[in-house]
């Protein structure tokens, strides 16, 4: 068996070399007669190898040729030889696509090869899988920036290498692991991987040189500059000593020169010397990878940009563009030319900054837009949520640059198109992952094989996640299964996206604004490092654009000091709160106060997230009577949304329209403290709500909760809630029998029109740059709920039940849910029985409304209606009787 495997591995290497050498010969298709001959003989393996061995002029042509083979195959492989031939076909396709620079398609091909190998383990050679599938596949995910998925692949490769007892292959895999860990910011772990690999590798081998270059990268990021320079110098020496016929070692040397340039960026002259040493290397001596060549041109161009020499940068950027976008002028490319590739994204953004600096803002803005299109295409290839979040956060500074340029153009020209550009950039920067999650809910509507498979895998994923949490995440096999499930789900969702074009639509804010009600306005914010940009719109379009200085630290301190740390600061120093709240109001709203009689939908950003704007003070004159303070609450109705896109989906969402289900858990089985105000809240709500279902303590179990989500129009939750901000591994709601993890919302098909989270900090959570707060409210909206009421800090046991009673009373007469919540707060401030202390904003401003304000109208209590009808009937009866007489 070992001999057979050795022969198979040898055969594969020969075939791969044949495929690569074929790229140097002029292109031609396989002879039709030869193909027909193999098909007539039913020899699929010979037919496949005819395609593989057929020469092509370029890697792109070779990839297209092999793709035709995949499409034209007249049947599926059956025999052992055919199964192996099909794997060779996929491997060669992945390699050709990689050489052509199409990383995404290359990744897809290698992924198909890996799945093919998993399905046919009995005839698959482990050495082949390690060298020709796992290694390039993991490196592709690293190139794409999906580092968690790369780590997953490299760990599988490490298992293969150890089973084969191949020291050099194991050392090379440690190099890949080190690279991925460094990209994830796990720098000490990267150094540990390097040390493990250096112990195994031959000290004179190219692999040893590669490991030293990875070590240099980690040291550089740890600011160990002397160690980084020492390691990269040693790496270059070893790689320079490799035999001339080793193209892989030459490629690693080519990359080490570029890495050395990066390490010496503080010394531009030395950096340039290293870059040009890489440029001087003959292409014939190394593995030709267009992407790395393009990256070198881009590095040199960026070096010129840093030196404030944009004109000198342009030729290098054009050279990069010629590789990534053959035959295209960078100033004339269109969205249809864009694909997911980080080097392309970086090129477009760098080119935008160059054209901005030479006074061509229109070209710069167009290039900014294209860079964001490339970022979206790239993000769609990611599998792990953390990689997607990192991509969103990484794009933040690019959006700020684009918005700043559009603002400058608006100030200079006052052309309305630049205002719209600011709004479009703002919208594109906001909560893109939430929007994609909300769109995925439509996947459940499909009933074909792919959609059914997705639903099945999602259920399995929920099971594995719960098992992992209950087992303390100690089961590595369970984690591996969950990662493989995530892989399979991502693959299927890509297919759905390709067939249904999900997530690729061009969103027009202008078309949505025209649908607004006459007295409805939207304020969208973008928080830069030190600048706050604001756009206000109504049904006629954009009303104004504004730019004001921003002090993020002051806003964070205000929220933390007066709200998150409890009521003491506000209670002990009400005047200090008054002054601080007025100061923030002046910064954010004084230039454009909210107008009475209007409803405002706010889309906060950055430090404005979870800021209780209703609690800000609109007048500088201090009044000792707190109920008379000029709160912004008294100016207008305020609700919130994450973005225009997500708000539109909430407005369009189908939901349960009838019924109320309340969950009230004061006693907890898990040893948690009792919640004192829960039963009082239930008692106060019962007379207000008609035909409600009430689940108290033992009755409030997981089954009843899931049924309520599927069947009720309103679901009210009063229990302990835990977010990732509480150092919780998985955010959850504590029901009586078990936690309900928020990821379980993915399995809910129908949704309530309104979820009321009457628990502490349900509107707060883990902040993600560009995405907003990952709160419980966020999870319910991602799951398909159109409207949520949640609390941004700890609600008070004495006041929260009374506020909730007021809210539900208002909900029976108000058509706008946000207005109902506003009126409940206003009534609280007017109530003479409420103490002045409890009229401080800490006690009433925690609750906020997010989403569709018209999603639900609560039927009033049957008891109240009966008495009202009776009271109306008595005078009517007397009047009729008098008229008859």
- Tens digit of pLDDT for each residue in 293-320? 999 999 999 999 999 999 999 999 999 9
Given this model, what pLDDT does residue 540 score? 94
Say if residue 863's pLDDT is above 80: no
Say if residue 46's pLDDT is above 90: yes
From CA 21, how far away is CA 797, in angstroms rounded?
76
User: 505: closest CA among 418, 448, 434, 436?
Assistant: 436
CATH code 3.30.70 for 509-644: no
User: 735: closest CA among 780, 675, 669, 690?
Assistant: 669
Given this model, what pLDDT does residue 815 score? 86
From CA 653, how far away is CA 641, in angstroms rounded?
14
Say if residue 826's pLDDT is above 50: yes
Say if residue 16's pLDDT is above 70: no
Given this model, what pLDDT does residue 1 score? 31
3-state secondary structure of 796: coil
Beta bridge partners of 689: 860
With pLDDT > 90 as the criterion, what percentage of the chain qualifies? 61
Element (H, E) at 294: helix 290-306
The residues, any chain, with a CB within 8 Å of residue 623's CB and separated by 6 or more, are: 629
For the segment 436-485, what is each residue's pLDDT rounded down to a tens digit? 888 877 655 555 666 666 666 666 666 666 666 665 555 555 566 666 67
Task: For the beta carbon of residue 785, count every other beta carbon within 10 angstroms.
Answer: 28
| Pair 581, 617: CB distance under 8 Å | yes
For the segment 321-337, what is each residue's pLDDT rounded down to a tens digit? 999 999 899 999 999 99
Kindly write down the DSSP assignment for every residue of 797-858, as one continuous string. TTTHHHHHHHHHHHHTT-S-HHHHHHHHHHHHHH-TTS-SGGGSGGGTSSEEEEE-TTS--P
Picking from 78-82, 230-234, 493-497, 704-708, which range would have the lowest pLDDT averaged per residue?
A: 493-497
851 Rama sector, left if φ>0, alpha if ψ -120 to 50, beta otherwise = left
From CA 306, how far away is CA 302, in angstroms rounded?
6
Say if residue 879's pLDDT is above 60: no
Instruction: Pick the more confident residue, 418 or 283.
Output: 418
Average pLDDT in the 215-228 region? 96
Given this model, what pLDDT does residue 403 score? 98
From CA 58, how far away is CA 290, in angstroms rounded?
11
pLDDT band at 193 (very low <50, low <70, confident <90, very high): very high
Q: Which ranges in the chain are annotated with CATH 3.40.50.1460?
A: 645-865
Using only C-alpha atoms, the chain has a radius of gyration, in whole angstroms, of 31
The label of the residue with tokens 């609450």 reads: 633
In Å, how far are 64, 126, 754 from 658, measured between CA atoms?
56, 58, 10
Given this model, what pLDDT does residue 448 score? 62
Given this model, what pLDDT does residue 729 score? 60
From CA 784, how far away is CA 653, in angstroms rounded?
7
Average pLDDT, rounded, for the chain: 86
CATH code 3.40.50.1460 for 645-865: yes
Average pLDDT in the 509-525 region? 91
From CA 780, how far away is CA 865, in angstroms rounded?
33
pLDDT band at 854 (very low <50, low <70, confident <90, very high): confident
- SS3 sequence of 310-363: HHHHHHHHHHHHHHHCCCCCCCCCCHHHCCCCHHHHHHHHHHHHHHHHCCCHHH
Element (H, E) at 681: helix 678-685
From CA 533, how far away is CA 426, in angstroms rounded?
9
| Pair 62, 21: CB distance under 8 Å | no
Q: Which ranges in the chain are annotated with CATH 3.30.420?
A: 509-644
Instruction: Pick the more confident residue, 657 or 551.
Output: 551
From CA 239, how far away is CA 202, in angstroms rounded?
13
Average pLDDT in the 362-391 region? 90
| Pair 506, 493: CB distance under 8 Å | no
Tell me whether strands 637-640 and 599-603 are parallel, antiparallel or unpaired.
Answer: parallel
Average pLDDT in the 64-88 region? 92
- SS3 sequence of 106-130: HHHHHHHHHHHHHHCHHHCCHHHHH
User: 293: closest CA among 340, 345, 343, 349?
Assistant: 343
Given this model, what pLDDT does residue 742 score? 83
From CA 512, how far away is CA 875, in angstroms rounded?
49
For the segment 94-115, what is each residue's pLDDT rounded down to a tens digit? 999 888 878 878 888 998 898 8
Given this model, what pLDDT does residue 864 score? 45
Task: For the beta carbon of residue 836, count every other beta carbon within 10 angstroms.
Answer: 12
From CA 600, how far away is CA 523, in angstroms rounded?
7
pLDDT band at 385 (very low <50, low <70, confident <90, very high): confident
Element (H, E) at 693: strand 692-696
3-state secondary structure of 754: strand
Full-model pTM: 0.82
Ranges 135-139, 256-260, 483-487, 741-745, most confident: 256-260
User: 723: closest CA among 661, 685, 774?
Assistant: 774
């Amino acid at each position: 068996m070992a001999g057979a495997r050795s022969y198979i591995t040898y055969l594969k290497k020969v075939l791969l070399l044949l495929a690569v050498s074929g790229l140097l010969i002029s292109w031609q298709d396989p002879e039709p007669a030869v193909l027909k001959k193999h098909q007539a003989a039913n020899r699929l393996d010979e037919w496949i190898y005819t395609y593989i061995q057929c020469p092509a002029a370029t890697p792109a042509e070779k990839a297209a040729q092999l793709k035709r083979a995949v499409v034209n195959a007249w049947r599926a492989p059956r025999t052992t030889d055919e199964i192996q031939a099909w794997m060779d076909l996929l491997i060669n396709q992945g390699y050709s696509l990689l050489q052509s620079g199409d990383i995404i398609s290359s990744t897809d091909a290698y992924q198909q090869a890996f799945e093919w190998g998993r399905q046919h383990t009995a005839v698959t050679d482990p050495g082949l899988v390690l060298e020709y599938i796992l290694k390039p596949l993991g490196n592709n995910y690293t190139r794409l920036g999906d580092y968690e998925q790369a780590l997953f692949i490299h760990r599988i490769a490490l298992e293969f290498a150890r089973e084969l007892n191949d020291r050099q292959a194991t050392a090379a895999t440690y190099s890949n692991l080190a690279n991925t860990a460094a990209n994830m910011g796990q720098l000490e772990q990267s150094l540990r991987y390097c040390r493990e690999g250096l112990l195994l590798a031959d000290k004179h081998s190219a692999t040893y040189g590669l490991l030293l270059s990875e070590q240099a990268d980690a040291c550089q990021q740890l600011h160990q500059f002397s160690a980084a320079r020492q390691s990269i110098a040693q790496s270059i020496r070893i790689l320079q000593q490799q035999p001339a016929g080793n193209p892989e070692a030459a490629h690693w040397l080519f990359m080490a020169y570029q890495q050395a340039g990066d390490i010496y960026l503080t010394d531009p002259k030395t950096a340039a010397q290293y870059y040009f040493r890489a440029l001087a290397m003959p292409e014939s001596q190394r593995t030709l990878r267009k992407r790395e060549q393009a990256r070198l041109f881009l590095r040199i161009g960026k070096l010129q940009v840093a030196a404030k020499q944009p004109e000198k940068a342009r030729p290098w950027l054009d050279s990069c563009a010629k590789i990534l976008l053959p035959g295209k002028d960078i100033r004339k490319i269109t969205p249809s030319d864009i694909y997911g590739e980080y080097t392309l994204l970086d090129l477009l953004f760098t080119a935008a900054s160059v054209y901005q600096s030479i006074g061509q803002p229109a070209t710069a803005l167009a290039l900014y837009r294209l860079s964001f299109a490339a970022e979206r295409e790239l993000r769609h290839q990611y599998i792990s949520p953390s990689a997607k979040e990192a991509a969103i956060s990484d794009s933040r500074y690019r959006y700020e640059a684009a918005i700043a340029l559009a603002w400058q153009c608006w100030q200079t020209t006052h052309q309305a198109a630049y205002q719209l550009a600011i709004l479009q950039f703002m919208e594109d920067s906001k909560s893109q992952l939430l929007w994609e999650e909300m769109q995925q809910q439509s996947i459940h509507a499909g009933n074909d094989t792919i959609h059914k498979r997705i639903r099945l895998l999602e259920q399995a994923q929920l099971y594995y996640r719960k098992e992992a949490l209950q087992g303390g995440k100690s089961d590595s096999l369970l984690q591996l299964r969950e990662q493989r499930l995530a892989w399979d789900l991502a693959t299927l969702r890509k297919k759905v996206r390709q067939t249904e074009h999900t997530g690729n639509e061009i969103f027009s804010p202008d078309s949505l604004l025209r649908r607004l009600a006459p007295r409805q306005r939207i304020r969208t914010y973008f928080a830069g490092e030190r600048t706050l940009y604001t756009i206000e719109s109504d049904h006629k379009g954009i009303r104004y654009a504004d730019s004001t200085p921003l002090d993020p630290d002051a806003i964070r301190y205000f929220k933390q000091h007066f709200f998150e740390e409890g009521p003491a600061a506000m209670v002990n120093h009400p005047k200090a709160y008054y002054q601080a709240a007025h100061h923030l109001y002046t910064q954010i709203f004084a230039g454009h106060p909210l107008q009475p009689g209007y409803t405002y939908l706010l889309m906060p950003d950055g430090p404005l997230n979870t800021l209780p704007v209703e609690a800000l003070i609109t007048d500088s004159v201090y009044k000792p009577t707190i109920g008379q303070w000029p709160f912004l609450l008294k100016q207008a109705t305020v609700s919130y949304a994450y973005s225009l896109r997500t708000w539109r989906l909430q407005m369009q969402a189908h939901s349960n329209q009838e019924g109320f289900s309340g969950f009230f858990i004061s006693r907890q089985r898990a040893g948690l403290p009792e919640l004192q105000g829960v039963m009082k809240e239930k008692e106060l709500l019962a007379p207000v709500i008609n035909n409600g279902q009430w689940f108290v303590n033992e009755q409030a179990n997981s089954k009843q909760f899931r049924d309520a989500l599927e069947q009720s129009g309103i679901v009210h939750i009063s229990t302990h809630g835990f977010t990732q901000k509480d150092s919780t591994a998985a955010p959850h709601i504590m029901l009586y029998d078990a936690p309900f993890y928020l990821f379980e919302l993915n399995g809910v098909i129908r949704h309530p029109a309104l979820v009321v989270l009457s628990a502490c900090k349900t509107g707060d959570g883990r902040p993600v740059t560009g995405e907003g707060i990952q709160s419980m409210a966020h999870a319910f909206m991602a799951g398909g709920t159109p409207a949520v009421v949640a609390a941004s800090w700890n609600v008070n046991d004495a006041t929260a039940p009374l506020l909730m009673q007021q809210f539900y009373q208002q909900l029976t007469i108000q058509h706008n849910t946000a207005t109902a919540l506003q009126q409940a707060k206003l009534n609280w401030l007017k109530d003479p029985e409420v103490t002045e202390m409890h009229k401080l904003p800490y006690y009433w401003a925690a609750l906020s409304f997010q989403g569709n304000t018209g999603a639900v109208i609560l039927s009033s209590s049957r008891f109240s209606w009966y008495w009202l009808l009776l009271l109306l009937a008595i005078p009517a009866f007397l009047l009729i009787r008098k008229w008859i007489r």
